[in-house]
Structure formats: structure tokens, C-alpha cells
Amino acid sequence: MAKIKKIEYFRVKPRWLFVKITDENGKYGWGEGTLEGHTNAVEGALDEIIARIIGYEADDIEHIWQTIWRLGFYRGGPVFMSALSGIDIALWDLKGRNLGLPIYQLLGGKVRNKVQVYCWIGGDRPSDVETAAKARIAQGLKCVKMNATEDVNWLDSPSVLDATVERLKTVKSLGLDAGLDFHGRLHKPMAKQLAKLLEPHRPLFIEEPLLCEHPEGYKQLAGLTTIPIATGERLYTRWDVKQFLEKATVDILQPDIAHAGGISETRRIAAMAEAYDVAIAPHCPLGPLAFAASLQIALNTPNFVIQEMSLGMHYNTEAGDIDLTTYLKDPSVFDIEEGYVKAPTGPGLGIEIDEDLVRKIAAETEPWKCKEFYGPDGSIREW
């Protein structure tokens, strides 16, 4: 066993926050605590955590998790849990590297050999959606996710929902399955109407049809549609998801491993969900470390169904064109074949980070701010 000697974090383009933990033997592990638009806040939380856990035994992952969780008194929420996630993932990576085993082996081994994935497509018009969908097919994907709607008020004309149906029909005509992401933008009156309109076209799921602050609305909606209801990217602990499971208001949970307490808490959420016959489809439009960590959970989780990834989401920055594989020494580890990514075989997270590139870009990266999203009346809307 070796003690934690140093913990560093790196703000890198386009909007990711990497964490590196080094033990007293010089061994290291990488994690990710990205929280889009709130990098400064997470860095502050990390500063507080780092001061506390330097000198702890690096192998004692659960003890460290519980120490960070319990000794702060005030706990939970996206900022705190994202910082904890970065630490937790890095500790699992370090442990796997020290033992020469993938993390999924430390969790009990694989229940599958490859992981089905999906990626985002944009576009407001059917022609734009068709172009984006064909590009995803060329990448080897079988499933995609798309915006349910850009902007809908409390009670708009039902005609504004017609474009959503047309976009879904376009994607389905190409042989793709598609999930529809509502982003919590719709209020209940419109969400009910849109779910009914979409039902004949059998989307893969509807994601965040309402904000998670409205569990009673989820209960009502669940009784009105046969479409699987997904949510979870804004639920950060097992206690957050508990009421959704107990009230049978969700069919697919989507914890984000970079927001939901890392590998340790995400696997607990998955085990809870299995007891309620609820599937796991981790949220992850983030960086390579979060995706690699999600793969480890997906490979070990019986009730896993599909994994989000951001492959092909290119960000043009002054540092160059950056995507999911930019910081990897071997990008082929994330190759898609017939809609699946194969189980990585390397130790820990199964990827190697180009640390020189990380340090170079971190030195010139400013915090990324959430885009502002306004309705036609000038009111602020959900991102």
C-alpha cells in the first residue's frame, strides 16, 4: 500500500476538468470532475478536498469517499459531487494500474464484452437532421440522441411540437433508433402533449421530460405514456434517485459518473436501480476520462442498456480541433464497430493520457461558461 502524495487538476479545452493523483511510489491515476460551466466552483471544492486527503492510503477508496462525504457536514449537489467524482475515478484508475487489472475486474468482472453507445445529433430542420444522422451511421452508430425541442413555453401552440415528430421520423427512416432529450425545457402541459405525439413513432426514450425538481409531474407523466422515461444527469447520489425508484416514475436512470460521486457511487446507484427493474444508461457528453470510467461501469452492470459518448463532437479552439480522443495516446481504444465499443483491456481505466498535451493546454485554458438561452419574450430558459 502507498499513501497519496500529490493531487493535481487540469482545466483543459474545450470544457473538461481532469484530476491526477500520484502516490508516494510515483504511481498515478487519472479522473474527471467536469461540470460544464462551473469549473471554478469545482476547483474550489477540490482545493478543500485535497488538503484533507493528502497522506491517506490510496487503496482505501471507500474510506476516502466516506471521509469526503461525511466530514463536510454539508453534502451533495453538483459542485461537491463532481469534485468527489474526479478524486474517486482517479483512485480507481490508480488502484487498477497498481494491480495491472482493468477496473471492471476489480468490481467483479465483465457481464458483457462490448458496450452499445449512442451520440448526439443536432439540427432543427429534417434536412439538417438527416445529414447529421448519416454522419453518425458512417461512424458505425445504430442509435442517436437529439433535441426534443428548442424552446417551448408553459403553454404554447401545439403546432410547435410537430417539428419534433418530423425530426424523429427522419432519423427512424434511416434505420436509427433515437432518444429525445427534453432538457427539462418543457413544462408539464406541453410535455404530456409531446409524449403522446411521439408514442406512435417509438423513440428509444424521452430524457428529462420535466425538471427533476418535479417528481410529482414524473409520476403523472409515467401514467400517461408507454415511452420509456429517462432522467438522472441532475441526480447526484443514491439518495437523490431513491424517490424516483420508490415511486416508479423512471424507466432508465442516467447518472453522470463525473457528477454522481464517481465509480463508487455510480455502481451503487446501478445496483439500487436493478432492484426496481430500472435500466442504467449513463449520461456522458464529456471528456475521455469520464467516458472511460463509464465504460468500466457499463461492462460490470447487469442492468446497463446503452452508453452516451461525445465522439465526433469537435470543438474548434485556438489550441486546435479537439474531440473525445485528442488527449489519448491511442485513440483506437474508443473505436465504434456496429454500434459498440469493445471492452478495454488495459489496466485501470484502460486508456493512456497524453500528459504533456494536457499540461500544455491547461496552461492556456480559461473557464468555459454555459451558453445563455432565451425565449422570444426575453426570459431565460433551460440550457
Alpha carbon distance 149, 145 (integer Å): 12
Instruction: List pLDDT tens digits, range 195-241.
Output: 999 999 999 999 999 999 999 999 999 999 999 999 999 999 999 99
Long-range Cβ contacts of 36-44 (<8 Å, 24+ apart): 36/286, 36/368, 36/370, 37/368, 37/369, 37/370, 38/78, 38/79, 38/82, 39/11, 39/15, 39/367, 39/368, 40/367, 41/79, 42/17, 42/79, 42/82, 42/83, 42/86, 43/9, 43/11, 43/17
Q: Are residues 146 and 79 in the same domain?
A: no
Q: Do the bridges between strand 177-181 and strand 206-207 make them parallel or antiparallel, or are there none, so unpaired?
A: parallel
Placement of cell 468500466 in the chain: 296
Question: Is the distance from CB of 72 to CB of 79 less than 8 angstroms?
Answer: no
User: Helices 238-246 and 262-275 meet at what angle, rounded to 10?
Assistant: 10
Question: Is the distance from CB of 293 to CB of 257 less than 8 angstroms?
Answer: yes
Kindly state whether residue 364 falls inside one of the protein's structural domains: no
Kindly state whether residue 239 falls inside one of the protein's structural domains: yes
Kindly state whether residue 157 falls inside one of the protein's structural domains: yes
Q: Is the pLDDT of residue 92 over 80?
A: yes
Q: Output DSSP code: residue 37.
A: T
Q: Which residues are part of the catalytic machinery?
A: 183, 283
- Residue 322: what are its φ and ψ, rounded to 5°? -115, 135
Nearest Cα neighbor of 227 from 193, 251, 191, 255 is 251
**What is residue 372's predicted lDDT score, i.e. its pLDDT?**
82
Nearest Cα neighbor of 278 from 248, 301, 239, 252 is 252
Q: Are residues 344 and 218 in the same domain?
A: yes
CATH of the domain at 57: 3.30.390.10
CATH of the domain at 196: 3.20.20.120
Count structural domains, the chain: 2
Kindly state whether residue 379 falls inside one of the protein's structural domains: no
Percent of the chain with pLDDT over 90: 82
Q: Are residues 70 and 139 in the same domain?
A: no
Question: Which pTM was predicted?
Answer: 0.96
Kindly state whether residue 367 falls inside one of the protein's structural domains: no
Q: Are residues 89 and 237 in the same domain?
A: no
- What is the sign of the dihedral through the CA atoms of 281, 170, 125 and 202? negative
Give the model's confidence band at 152: pLDDT under 50 very low, under 70 low, under 90 confident, else very high. Answer: low
Give the structural domain span for 11: 4-102
Contacts of 196 (CB under 8 A, 6+ apart): 224, 225
Instruction: List pLDDT tens digits, range 262-312.
Output: 999 999 999 999 999 999 999 999 999 999 999 999 999 999 999 999 986
Q: Are residues 177 and 85 in the same domain?
A: no
Three cell numbers, residue 171: 432519423
Amino acid at 190: M
Q: Are residues 49 and 166 in the same domain?
A: no
Kindly state whether residue 149 falls inside one of the protein's structural domains: yes
Alpha carbon distance 323, 13 (integer Å): 9
Q: Which of 84, 102, 120 is the last residue of a domain?
A: 102
Kindly state whether residue 382 falls inside one of the protein's structural domains: no
- Region 316-338: mean pLDDT is 86
Alpha carbon distance 31, 11 (integer Å): 12
Nearest Cα neighbor of 206 from 176, 189, 177, 227 is 227
Instruction: List pLDDT tens digits, range 347-373.
Output: 999 999 999 999 999 998 888 888 787
Q: How many residues does the chain have?
A: 383
Instruction: List pLDDT tens digits, range 12-48.
Output: 999 999 999 999 999 999 999 999 999 999 999 999 9
- Region 155-175: mean pLDDT is 86
